[in-house]
Amino acid sequence: MLRLWQGSLIAALAVGGFVLGLIVWACFRFRARGDQLPRQVRYNLPVEVLYTVIPVVIVAVLFYFTAIDEDTVDKLSAHPDLRVEVIGFQWSWQFNYPAQGLQITGRPGQPPQLVLPVGETIQFTEVSLDVIHSFWVVPFLFKRDVIPGPRHNQFEVTITKAGVFAGHCAEYCGIGHDQMLFSVRAVSPAQFSSFVARAKAEATSGSPIYTLLPTSSSGSPS
């Protein structure tokens, strides 16, 4: 994603610089000299072919790399290391770990934290219970809409470094949109296993954040 944005930016700067250079050159090269009207030219076939062919080539190249990256981003594994369900609702988030039997539910003003292992394939399935939301982890340079109804968007990531990353809803979803915050904490696989065990223990003792799920099932926010 970053390489695609960088390549598009370089292409835009190159085209912009070239056009600006032509404008400045034309301003000085063909500036008015006296009151005599310059010779009027209607057609210049080589120039017209040039400014038709070059943009088509540029757009085709950008489209090619965009299509490749889109296929990569949308590719799903048959057997990911971890499955996570993202449930958006007004005005917070809920994260389910079906295989681990754990659910994390946020509240307005109490953003939930999604804990994920580094170096493993993580497959997300997104569900909205009301309106369209958008799951956006800022440093991932990626977001995907969370749509109500039967369609569930999916995507995969493999986190390469540990850390805490900010997350937002990137789709205006109503008056409490600004409260739809969350964070992602990326840890080692061993730390992730410890987190699951600790969170399930807290859920057993009545935690308002963690809830136990039946294995391989989904929950809904309370």
Per-residue pLDDT of the chain (222 residues; tens, 9 = 90+): 888 889 999 999 999 999 999 999 988 887 777 777 777 777 888 888 988 999 999 999 999 999 999 898 889 999 999 999 999 999 999 999 999 999 999 988 889 999 999 999 999 999 999 999 999 998 888 899 999 988 899 999 999 999 999 999 999 999 999 999 999 999 999 999 999 999 999 999 888 889 998 765 444 554
Between 2-29 and 45-74, two packed helices, what is the crossing angle to 10 degrees?
170
How many domains does the chain divide into? 2
Where on the phi/psi map is residue 206: left (φ > 0), alpha (ψ -120 to 50), or beta? left
* 21 and 58 both lie in a single domain: yes
* 29 and 107 both lie in a single domain: no
- Which domain range does residue 28 map to? 2-74
Is 185 a member of any domain? yes
* 153 and 70 both lie in a single domain: no
106's CB contacts (< 8 A; 6+ apart) are 92, 93, 94, 112, 182, 209
Longest dimension (CA), the chain: 91
- The Cα 18–Cα 164 span in angstroms is 41
* 105 and 188 both lie in a single domain: yes
SS3 at position 80: coil
